[in-house]
Every structure is written in structure tokens, then in C-alpha cells.
Structure 1
Amino acid sequence: MTASPSTDAKSRRPRTWPALLLIALAVIAVIAVIWRVDTAPRTDDAYAYADTIGVSPEVSGKIVTLAVRDNQAVKQGDLLFQIDPRPYQYALQRALASLAQLDAQIPLTQRTVNAQGFGAAAARAAAVRAQAAAKQAGDTLARMEPLLAKGYVSADELERARTAQRAAQAELDAAQKQASEAQAAVSGVDALVAQREVLRAEIATARLNLEYATVRAPFDGRVVELRTSVGQYVSAQKPVFTLIDTRHWYVIANFRENELGHIRPGTRATVYLMSNTGIRFSGEVDSIGFGVDPQDGGSTANGLPNIQRSINWVHVAQRFPVKIRVDHPDPQLFRIGTSAVAVLQPERDSHAARDGAPS
């Protein structure tokens, strides 16, 4: 039995539906990828980051105690290192001794001032007495002068009255000069009291310097770049090592500029580190960079981050750093510079905004 011609034609006809199905699936996949990129921006151009400070002493001296080692974790208030405190102890003792000496000198000086005041008062009283005597001698002379012509007084008596008046005036002048000198000699303790305040300030500074000789951790962190030992002379304001602030960890993720429209502070994110891709960490966007170096390659310009955006002859979109704060970082995994991957969920922000909106 032979096949009919119509059956042979059907068997030779190409089957186009599998190809159409593959094309449709590819289109759906492309749309899904585009939708996913728009709704959940993702980048592997990211790294872990934490704030750091250079641990610098406030005073200079030799390190006598070094209580930490390189890469050690420390808690706030832990001893880091101590500078030889003896010079600052001696400075404090000298300032305290100077204050004690001044406190003993002030009462003695006050007694001298009191004596000077009493002397000035006595000189003023003597000047008053001399003024009264001079006035009396002048009045006597004024009464006797008209009596000479009438013969009631002799010329000798009048001359004695004039002599007494001149003597009384001379004594008055001398007494007034002594009173002025005595008053000018009266000093005070104001200068010593002011000097006491200066010494009190020196004591406070000496105590502060003595406290600065002991350097403690200002926050929970990890010691890095420790390259010194006991006996090393360190200078004030010169960093001895670096302390990583492990209280807050971030992931700096560089996103393309055309992805920033749906990203804002508070956008939720999921990040993981390339050192352990099996652990996911949640977080949220802390801030979005508002400036990068527009030049390709080279060093940082004007303090702006430099992000390469050209791949050979292909010009790609500029990338801007997005700072993501990690909610519960693992202190054993997070290291500054560790490569990371960040995925944002802008739709969670919109859902939260709708859920929190008043009805």
C-alpha cells in the first residue's frame, strides 16, 4: 500500500511553530530582563566600605605601652597605647606648686597693702592737722596786722606771727606731699589674683595633656596599618595607625546614570560579598553621588571619585557611586575593598509609600 500524494506533501511541509515558539520565548525573556533591570537595578561594580580615622596622639613622646596589634578588633574605651606620662606629670606638679606659692604670697602681700593703707590714712590726717594749724596762724596774722598802727601790738609780735604763719604753711605743704606719696605707695593684689587665674589655666592644660598621654579607642573598630612598637617617639597630630569604624558598614555600588531615576535615599537593597556569595545582607541606600571626575582614567580631580566609563572605542554610560548602608553586617566577612554585588528594590519603596499613605 502506497502513501497518497497529499500525505507526502504534508510530511515534507516545514514545521514553523517551534521556531516561532523559540522567538516568542526569546522576546519574553528580553522583556523580562529589561523589566527586571528597570525595577531591580543590579551591579557587580561595588565594594565594601567603612569610615576610618588616623589615630593621632594629642601630645608628643615615646610609646611606653602598646596594647594592640595589627588587625585587632577593639571596643570603645579600650587602651590603644600610652605615651610616657612623666614630662606631663612634672608639668602638672610645677603648676600646682606655683599656685600654692602664689596662694601663700597673696595674704602676705595683702598685709603689706593694708599697712600701706594705714600709713596713707595717717599721712592724710597729718595733712588735715597741718592745714588747720596753717589756717589758725593765718587768721592770727590777719588780726594783728591792723593793730600795729594803733600800738596794740609791737613790731616784734607781728614778726613772730608772720614767722609762725610761714612755718605752718610749710608744714602744710610737707604734710600734703607726704599724704600724696603715701597714697601713691598703696598697692594691691589684683595682679596676683590675675596671675592665679593664669596658673589655674596652666594646671587645667597640664592635666589635659596628662590625660592625652593615654590614648583609648573612640569607638568600636579594628586596628590596621600598625607599624610601630614600644619605644617609638610619636609626634602630636601624626597618625600612628588607622582605626576602621566597624559600627557601620557600607557597600559603594557604581550604577549607570540611566538607572539613577528610581534610586533615592531609603531604597532597599540586597548585597553580597564575593568572598562568600552564599550569604545575603539587606540594607538601604544612604546617599547617591552627585559628582564624579568627568575625565576617563587618570587621578582623582578636585576630590571627585574617578570611575572608568570607556571600554576601548565603545562609550558607555557614566557611573555614579551609590552608598548603601548594610543593616546587619558580619564583622568577620566585611573588609574595606571587598568586592560586592548590589541589587536594589525600588518597588519596595513605592509599596511602602502606598502602605504608609493616609487613606
Structure 2
Amino acid sequence: MPEETENQSRVGRTIALLLILVALCLAVFVTWRIDAAPRTDDAYAYADTISVTPEVSGQIVELAVRDNQAVKRGDLLFKIDPRPFEASLAKAQATLTSLDREIELTQRSVNAQKLGAAAATASVERARAAAEQAADTLRRMEPLLGSEYVAAEQVDQARTAQRSAKAQLSAAVLDAQRATAGISGVDALVAKREVVKAEIALAELNLEYATVRAPFDGIVINLKTTAGQFAAAGHPVFTLANTTRWYVVANFRETELAHIKPGQSTQVYVLGQADKRFRGVVDSVGFGVFPDDGGADAAGLPHVPRSINWVRVAQRFPVRILVNAPDPTVFRIGASAVAIVTSDTASSSH
């Protein structure tokens, strides 16, 4: 009987040792598996979003979308009353037409002024020739004054003619200078024309801004207005999510980050349809989070709260995972997700 009890005790110890060994092996396997393929259910689906903001102010006369509607790139989102911008464009175009006529008329006047200046210059040459001729005549007659060939009266007449020709030359020079200075030109009007052309371009741009279209395929989010509402430039009307690129932002423990590198393949799924698995690739690994337990104020960093305060819990850092071939009917912004990082790289998974 004691021998049988001893055998049973030995068997029990053997079984216990085997169980402990199996548990240790299982623990080692689980630890290796976690290190080799980090996994987290602290993740959510995410897509790039923009605030649809008009560039001009005005009343919304047409709202072509509804909340949560899917749109394609180039689809009309809404239209602001274009009449003020059409009027501004028409006014600028009319100003340009009027200025062109003014430039044309002014150019004719300038041409006439140039012709007048040319005529005045010709008069100067004519007066200069007359003055030179009168001076030559006086020079020839003065040496003959003492002889009987030239009378004193003739010399006096030559002197008077020489002075008159000189005065006429001075007057002609002044007239030519006055005519040249009076040429106005159209440079100022041409410069003004460039200003009007810039006003036309701005008016055309504002008229184009009055029609707001989707810059990419997306989903309308948080639409809380309707036609008739006044839209102010720079103030968002609604949000548009880009459905061409979906991410899963997974918060991994800092002890796992050494096994996560950009380019690694992943498996992701959202809890709403856990039966559908999607392939992904690590796009980037976060390098900063807002510290919960004191520290400096690091504004602008992502906030990843810890779930337990009385024990030392590893901080979590966001890892952005780009989803390959996402199903837009499955993914929603903020949906809970699960991410598993595999050991292979994206290039080996394709």
C-alpha cells in the first residue's frame, strides 16, 4: 500500500512537471509570437478630411449634396449666388473696353502732336536757313559800305533783315520745344489697362470660386445647412472625407515599437465586420504623444490615455497603417479596428 501511494505521488509530480513545462513552452511561444507579430485592438479607422470652405462670401443658391453622401471628384457640392461676381466681371470688362477706346483716341492726339512737333522742327530749319542767308548778305555788304557800290541804306536794310531772321529763328526754336514737350503719350493709360486686366482676372476667379466642386472622391460629413444660408469666405460649410485612402491608426505599446518598422505588412479589420480582413502596410510610426503623468506641456501631440493609473503601464504610440484596397462600405472614420503587424515587408507580401 505505501508503495502504491508512492507511485501515485511520483506520477503526480511527473504530470505537474510536464504541465509546468508545457506552460513555460506556451509562454515562450506566446511571447515570441507577440514580439514577432505585435497586435493591438486599440486602433481606429481614419481617412484624410478637409473642411469644405468657400473662397468667396454669398448666399448658397444650390446645395447639390446631402449629409453622408458619396461624391466623385469634380461633382458639384454647392453654388454661391454668382450675380455679384458676374456684375463685377461685366463692370471690369466694360472699363477695359472704354479704356481701349480712350487709348485709341489719345494715340491719335499723340500722333497729331508728333506731326506738329515735326512741322515745328522743319520751321526751325527754315528759319535757320533764312538767318544764315541774312547774315551772309550783311557780311558781303558791310565791306562795300565806303565805296559807291553799296549805299548806307542798303546796309541798314541788310542789318534789319539779319536781326529779323535771327528773331524768327529763336521763335521757331521755342515753338519746336513747346511742340515736343506737348507730346503726352499713352504710357499711363497702358499701365492703367494692366490694372483693369488684373481686376478682370480676379473677377473671373471669384466667379469660378462661386461654384464649389469636390476635389476628390469622398463622403460628405456633418452637413448642417441648406440652400439660402449665407456662406462666409473662410468659414467651413461641412467636412469631406477622402475615401480613396484609408488608414488604421493603431496604438502599440512602446515595448513593441522595436519590432514595427515602416514598410512592414499588416492585417487589419474593423469590429463592425470582423470577418473581412484587409492587407496593409506600416506607413509611419509615431515619435511623440502627450504625457499623462506630468512632464512638459507638449501641445499638438496626439493624446493616447493610459487605462490604469496605479501601476506602471507602458505608453502607447500611434502607428499609421495604410490599408490596401479598402472597402468603402466597411470603413468609417473612427470605427474600432484591430491591427496585426507581420514580420514580412510589403514588398515580400505582394
TM-score normalized by structure 2?
A: 0.92
Q: Bigger CA drift: 70-79 or 93-102?
A: 93-102
Corresponding position of 1:245:
242
Residues 324/124 of structure 1: CA separation in 2 closer, same or farther (3 Å cut): same
Residues 298/164 of structure 1: CA separation in 2 closer, same or farther (3 Å cut): same
Corresponding position of 2:323:
326
Taking the aligned partners of 1:300 and 1:73, their CA distance within structure 2 comes to 40
Taking the aligned partners of 1:299 and 1:226, their CA distance within structure 2 comes to 38
Shift of 1:11: 5.9
Instruction: Give aligned-pair identity as a percent.
Output: 60
Shift of 1:81: 0.4
Residues 10/296 of structure 1: CA separation in 2 closer, same or farther (3 Å cut): closer
Shift of 1:301: 2.5
Residues 297/85 of structure 1: CA separation in 2 closer, same or farther (3 Å cut): farther
1:224-276 deviation per Cα after TM superposition (whole angstroms, max 9, x unaligned) = 12121111111212211111111111010111222112211111111121222
Corresponding position of 2:233:
236
Corresponding position of 2:34:
37
Contact 1:297 1:306 in 2 (8 A): no
Shift of 1:279: 2.0
Give the letter aligned to residue 239 of structure 1. Answer: P
Matches within 5 A, 1:158-237: 158-237=155-234
Matched, 1:349 2:338: no
1:279-303 deviation per Cα after TM superposition (whole angstroms, max 9, x unaligned) = 2221110111122223438998331
3-state secondary structure, aligned to 1:92: helix
Q: Bigger CA drift: 250-259 or 273-282?
A: 273-282
1:135 corresponds to which of 132, 147, 151:
132
Give the letter aligned to residue 27 of structure 1. Answer: L
3-state secondary structure, aligned to 1:52: strand
Matched, 1:312 2:309: yes
Gaps of 5+ in 1: none
Taking the aligned partners of 2:329 and 2:295, their CA distance within structure 1 comes to 34
Matched, 1:126 2:158: no
Taking the aligned partners of 2:2 and 2:286, their CA distance within structure 1 comes to 72
Shift of 1:149: 3.0
Give the letter aligned to residue 214 of structure 1. Answer: T
1:295-344 deviation per Cα after TM superposition (whole angstroms, max 9, x unaligned) = 43899833111223472221222221110011122212212111111111
Corresponding position of 1:56:
53
1:92-123 deviation per Cα after TM superposition (whole angstroms, max 9, x unaligned) = 11122122222333332222222111111111
Residues 250/239 of structure 1: CA separation in 2 closer, same or farther (3 Å cut): same
1:156-189 deviation per Cα after TM superposition (whole angstroms, max 9, x unaligned) = 2222221111111111111111111111112323
Contact 1:296 1:307 in 2 (8 A): no
3-state secondary structure, aligned to 1:321: strand
1:28-87 deviation per Cα after TM superposition (whole angstroms, max 9, x unaligned) = 111111011011101111111111101011111110001111111111111100000001
TM-score normalized by structure 1?
A: 0.90
Contact 2:265 2:346 in 1 (8 A): no
Give the letter aligned to residue 66 of structure 2. Answer: R
Gaps of 5+ in 2: none
Taking the aligned partners of 2:2 and 2:280, their CA distance within structure 1 comes to 69
2:336 corresponds to which of 336, 339, 344:
339
Taking the aligned partners of 2:132 and 2:5, their CA distance within structure 1 comes to 163
Matched, 1:301 2:260: no
Taking the aligned partners of 1:87 and 1:31, their CA distance within structure 2 comes to 74
Corresponding position of 1:97:
94
Give the letter aligned to residue 73 of structure 2. Answer: Q
Q: Bigger CA drift: 152-161 or 136-145?
A: 152-161
Contact 1:57 1:237 in 2 (8 A): yes
3-state secondary structure, aligned to 1:323: strand
Contact 1:297 1:308 in 2 (8 A): no
Taking the aligned partners of 2:175 and 2:50, their CA distance within structure 1 comes to 70
Corresponding position of 1:81:
78
Corresponding position of 1:46:
43
Corresponding position of 2:141:
144
Give the letter aligned to residue 352 of structure 1. Answer: S
Taking the aligned partners of 1:260 and 1:14, their CA distance within structure 2 comes to 44
3-state secondary structure, aligned to 1:50: strand
Residues 350/213 of structure 1: CA separation in 2 closer, same or farther (3 Å cut): closer
Corresponding position of 1:279:
276
Taking the aligned partners of 2:30 and 2:50, their CA distance within structure 1 comes to 42
Contact 2:73 2:214 in 1 (8 A): yes
Residues 13/201 of structure 1: CA separation in 2 closer, same or farther (3 Å cut): closer
Give the letter aligned to residue 136 of structure 1. Answer: Q
Shift of 1:10: 4.5
Taking the aligned partners of 2:58 and 2:2, their CA distance within structure 1 comes to 107
